[in-house]
């Protein structure tokens, strides 16, 4: 199906061809500009298209260029406006635009992953599980005039992120320009995305009566860690419910009164940990409306224990992709950068799903590194687009879903997994006590290595 012009890249870097094919299908310039026109309320297009801004930002996020200015300079002949106009566009993009970009990507990629059989088993059988967590964008450089005289960290914004752990797709991002905003203040926007039959996993920051009652009113369920401020009344004693790998489990029925009347009957699951958490806690309490006949207390605890998948996703965004560009001081530009990184993460999720479908889930999860995948794409993508002219990529827009999935299968078979092998480190060794002699503030590395050979150590 792919012409001869693709053959060299299919053989040498099939993952990069997969990424370019996915981008052409769901995020080509025409679709991006149409999404902008349908979402923007204040901004409009004069000469600088949203697709151009997305392209510049994606080059930085994926490591192809070190900065927006460098990406602009490399494409000056194709861009008809000044760099000042580019920054003005970045700094003024309304937050709902990058949020719509993430949502569009997830909606388009969900059927692709399902069609190729690359989805994982759901965390709660019979339900679509969604995990929500907050993400605070790291402090930026003090480039803005308003920040020049401040020694405090400049927070350009935060967001709530909703992950589907079975698809490994970020479904929603709720952006907020106020870096000091409480996560709970953004919960009403999350409730707008709730669907009947969902099971939501969240930490105790989301344990509010508004969120719990809102989920149930919309036909969804939840497994949420109890916050100490939540009012509740016991309807029975804690009863032992067995053990899981991390500790002993017990449960009891409770009721939670509503803020405006009514009440919510829940199960309160206690998990007594064999090892304390990083905060030194030895007990966790989880709340769920799911009936015991559908989900035992032990399975509730196990499902919540896999909430770390969203923390892993956020870590990958920060380390494998440049989701936090500390040179972008304006909140709207920083939030766009984060959302473009989320889009790149979702595209990589399709690549990983294709690899799971062809090579097996266990092998891909245990052996393939997202870091090396991102590095391969960042190093090859621009050169490939130069070598393969734009009209050739149109094939990915036109073919039916079944044929598109067949192409991804074909490309996944060419991937040499050894090139992307993980290298997990062993347990961290305790740091040795260091000594310092102010009369000799420097040491010669060569002399220290020579002392190692002779067995003579420095006191």
pLDDT, tens digit (0-9, with 9 covering 90-100), for 12-59: 899 999 999 999 999 998 999 999 999 988 776 777 888 999 999 988
Q: Say if residue 359 is in the same domain as residue 411.
A: yes
Domain final residue pick, 263, 285, 313? 313
pLDDT category at 103 given cuts 50, 70, 90 is very high
* Per-residue pLDDT tens digits for 338-349: 999 999 999 999
Asked whether residue 188 is assigned to any structural domain, the reply reads yes
* Rounded average pLDDT over 205-228: 94
The residue segments making up the domain with residue 343 are 4-95+325-420
* Rounded average pLDDT over 211-219: 95
Q: Which letter does DSSP use for residue 134 in this model?
A: E
The share of the chain scoring above pLDDT 90, in percent, equals: 48
Domain final residue pick, 313, 348, 383? 313
Asked whether residue 454 is assigned to any structural domain, the reply reads no
Q: Say if residue 330 is in the same domain as residue 296.
A: no
* Rounded average pLDDT over 386-410: 90
Q: Say if residue 36 is in the same domain as residue 12.
A: yes
pLDDT of residue 129: 94
Q: Say if residue 181 is in the same domain as residue 61.
A: no
Asked whether residue 450 is assigned to any structural domain, the reply reads no
Asked whether residue 443 is assigned to any structural domain, the reply reads no
Tokens (6 digits) for 52: 């151009």
- HSE (side-chain half, CA atoms, 13 Å) at 1: 18
Please indicate whether residue 62 or residue 257 has the higher confidence score (pLDDT): 257
pLDDT at 122 over 90: no
pLDDT at 459 over 70: no
Strand-pair partners of 255: 233, 265
pLDDT at 148 over 60: yes
Question: Domain containing 245 — which CATH number?
Answer: 3.90.350.10
Asked whether residue 290 is assigned to any structural domain, the reply reads yes
Q: Say if residue 136 is in the same domain as residue 265.
A: yes
pLDDT category at 404 given cuts 50, 70, 90 is very high
Mean pLDDT of the chain: 88
Q: Say if residue 333 is in the same domain as residue 303.
A: no
* Rounded average pLDDT over 159-179: 92
* Rounded Cα gap, residues 5 and 120, in angstroms: 34
pLDDT of residue 136: 86
Asked whether residue 115 is assigned to any structural domain, the reply reads no
Q: Say if residue 169 is in the same domain as residue 307.
A: yes
Q: Say if residue 274 is in the same domain as residue 136.
A: yes
Any idea what the Cα angle at residue 401 is, between residues 395 and 402, rounded to 5°? 105
* Per-residue pLDDT tens digits for 329-379: 888 999 999 999 999 999 999 999 999 999 998 888 888 888 888 888 888
Q: Say if residue 184 is in the same domain as residue 256.
A: yes
pLDDT category at 403 given cuts 50, 70, 90 is very high
* Rounded Cα gap, residues 93 and 35, in angstroms: 13
Q: Say if residue 275 is in the same domain as residue 157.
A: yes
Q: Say if residue 230 is in the same domain as residue 290.
A: yes
Q: pTM of the full predicted structure? A: 0.88
Domain final residue pick, 293, 313, 333? 313
Q: What is the count of structural domains for the chain? A: 2
Which residue, 363, 348, 375, is CA-closest to 417?
363
pLDDT at 72 over 70: yes
Asked whether residue 70 is assigned to any structural domain, the reply reads yes
* Rounded Cα gap, residues 75 and 86, in angstroms: 12
pLDDT of residue 4: 76
Q: Say if residue 251 is in the same domain as residue 390.
A: no
pLDDT of residue 457: 59
Ordered DSSP codes for 217-251? HTT-EEEEEPPTTS--EESS--EEEEEETTEEEEE
Asked whether residue 426 is assigned to any structural domain, the reply reads no
pLDDT of residue 1: 60
């Amino acid at each position: 199906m792919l012409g001869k012009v693709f053959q060299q890249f299919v053989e040498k870097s099939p993952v990069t061809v997969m990424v370019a094919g996915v981008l052409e299908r769901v995020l080509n310039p025409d679709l991006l500009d149409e999404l902008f026109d349908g979402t923007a309320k204040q901004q409009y297009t004069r000469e600088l298209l949203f697709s151009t801004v997305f392209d510049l930002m994606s080059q930085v996020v994926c490591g192809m260029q070190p900065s927006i200015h460098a990406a602009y300079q490399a494409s000056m002949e194709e861009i008809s406006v000044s760099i000042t106009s580019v920054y003005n566009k970045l700094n003024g993009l309304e937050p709902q635009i990058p949020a719509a970009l993430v949502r569009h990507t997830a909606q388009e990629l969900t059927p692709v992953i399902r069609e190729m059989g690359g989805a994982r088993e759901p965390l709660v059988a019979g339900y679509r599980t969604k995990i929500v967590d907050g993400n605070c964008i790291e402090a930026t450089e003090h480039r803005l005039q308003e920040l020049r005289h401040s020694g405090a960290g400049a927070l350009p914004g935060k967001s709530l992120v909703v992950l589907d752990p079975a698809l490994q797709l970020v479904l929603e991002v709720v952006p907020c320009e106020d870096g000091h905003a409480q996560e709970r203040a953004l919960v009403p926007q999350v409730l707008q995305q709730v669907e009947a039959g969902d099971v939501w996993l969240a930490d105790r920051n989301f344990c509010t009566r508004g969120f719990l009652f809102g989920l149930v009113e919309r036909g969804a369920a939840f497994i949420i860690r109890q916050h100490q401020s939540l009012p509740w009344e016991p309807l029975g004693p804690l009863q032992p419910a067995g053990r899981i790998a991390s500790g002993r489990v017990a449960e009891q029925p409770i009721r939670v009164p509503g803020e405006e009347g009514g009440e919510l009957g829940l199960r309160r699951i206690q998990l007594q940990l064999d090892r304390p958490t990083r905060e030194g806690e030895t007990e966790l309490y989880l709340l769920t409306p799911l009936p015991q006949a559908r989900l035992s207390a032990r399975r509730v605890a196990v499902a919540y224990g896999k909430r770390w998948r969203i923390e892993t996703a956020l870590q990958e965004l920060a380390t494998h992709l440049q989701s936090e560009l500390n040179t972008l001081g304006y909140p709207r530009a920083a939030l766009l950068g984060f959302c473009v990184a989320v889009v790149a993460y979702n595209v990589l999720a399709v690549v990983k799903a294709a690899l799971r479908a062809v090579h097996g889930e266990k092998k891909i999860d245990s052996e393939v590194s997202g870091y090396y995948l991102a590095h391969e794409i960042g190093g090859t993508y621009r050169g490939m687009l130069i070598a393969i002219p734009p009209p050739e990529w149109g094939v990915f827009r036109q073919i039916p879903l079944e044929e598109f999935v067949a192409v991804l299968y074909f490309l996944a078979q060419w991937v040499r997994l050894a090139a992307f092998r993980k290298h997990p480190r062993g347990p961290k060794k305790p740091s040795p006590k260091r000594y310092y002699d102010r009369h000799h503030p420097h040491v010669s590395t060569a002399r220290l290595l020579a002392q190692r050979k002779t067995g003579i150590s420095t006191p």
